[in-house]
Amino acid sequence: MSAMLAERPTVAPSMPGPCPVIETARLVLRPHRMQDADAIANSLSDFAIARMLTRVPVPYDREDGRDWLNMVTSDLAPDWHFALTLDGVHIGVVSLELRHGLWHIGYWLNRFYWGQGIMSEAVEAALDRFFRRMPGAEVFGGAFADNAASLRLLGACGFQTIGVRDIFSKARNTMGPLVEFRLSQADFAGRERRP
């Protein structure tokens, strides 16, 4: 009987399970709480951040943050929505969402923390945990063509460009070119790591 069990192929999980807590050298990535509404609203009310996102309206206020938190804390979807925290302060978001049967990554960071490698650290940690839970999965991402920092980040994580398409940005209130990417576990594992 045990020989039959040993011969059974392992099946990759179809869903990653609940959003975990991840600690990196500088950050704690944790599930969101309703108390994060003010920090989210303060960050996303900055047009420099909102203009790089497709689904964020302008202006963005505390009630918008609470509406989003009601959705992501409901546990009705298999998505992971990490609150990026530095010294206990909410400074951004990394999300892995299942949309139309495909996994997508999205992220943003409070402008005060730009240029410090924080988002790279957070995205790599989230992807590493995701691929350990979902071996063989692919993750899709995108960045507006004028978002050089995000384009560099996706490339450094091993994402491969698959195309460009115009997409509507609520904050910009116009269409804009979005560079689309795909990441396999093999591409992520084979990326060149920063020193």
The pLDDT assigned to 1 comes to 44
The pLDDT assigned to 7 comes to 57
Assess whether pLDDT exceeds 50 at residue 11.
no
What band does 2 get if pLDDT is binned at 50, 70 and 90? very low
- In this structure, of 11-15, 40-44, 69-73, 123-127, the range with the lowest mean pLDDT score is 11-15
How many other C-beta atoms lie within 10 A of the C-beta of residue 110?
21
Evaluate the omega torsion of the peptide bond into residue 78 and state whether it is cis, within 30 degrees of 0.
no
CB 68 within 8 A of CB 81: no
Assess whether pLDDT exceeds 60 at residue 193.
yes
Which residue would you say has higher pLDDT here, 111 or 5?
A: 111
* 163-176 average pLDDT score: 96
The label of the residue with tokens 């011969």 reads: 7
Mean pLDDT value across the chain:
92
Give the pLDDT confidence of 41-52 residue by residue, as tens digits. 999 999 999 999
- Coil, strand or helix: which one is 190? coil
The pLDDT assigned to 107 comes to 98
φ, ψ at 84 (rounded to 5°): -85, 125
The pLDDT assigned to 191 comes to 86
Assess whether pLDDT exceeds 60 at residue 12.
no
Per DSSP (E only), the strands in the chain are 22-23, 28-31, 80-86, 89-99, 102-109, 138-144, 160-169, 174-184
Assess whether pLDDT exceeds 60 at residue 10.
no
The Cα 117–Cα 98 span in angstroms is 26
The pLDDT assigned to 192 comes to 72
Assess whether pLDDT exceeds 90 at residue 151.
yes
The pLDDT assigned to 9 comes to 52
Assess whether pLDDT exceeds 70 at residue 62.
yes
